[in-house]
Amino acid sequence: MSSFLTVKEAADHIGCSAATLNRYRWKGNGPPFYKMGGVRYDRAELEAWIRSRRQLSTSEAV
């Protein structure tokens, strides 16, 4: 199994839509990605990005 995921696979993995990931890339506030024959996401970097977004309160700044 490749550690690189397509946009659709990455979106499914983190529980959002492909459009949301596209918007994150455009704004520059999403998980790191690679451009190699299309946009690809490294599975380990997605996991690290998810963990970096951990919060303890809804009043914390995102």
DSSP-derived secondary structure for 20-42: HHHHHHHHT-S---EESSSEEEE
pLDDT of residue 62: 63
Higher pLDDT, 56 or 4: 4
Residue 22 has pLDDT above 80, yes or no: yes
Residue 1 has pLDDT above 80, yes or no: no
The tens digit of pLDDT for each residue in 28-53 reads 999 999 999 899 999 999 999 999 98
Q: Under CATH, which architecture does the 4-52 domain have? A: Orthogonal Bundle (1.10)
The tens digit of pLDDT for each residue in 4-21 reads 999 999 999 999 999 999
Amino acid at position 35, single letter = K
Q: How confident is the model at residue 59 (pLDDT cuts 50, 70, 90)?
A: confident
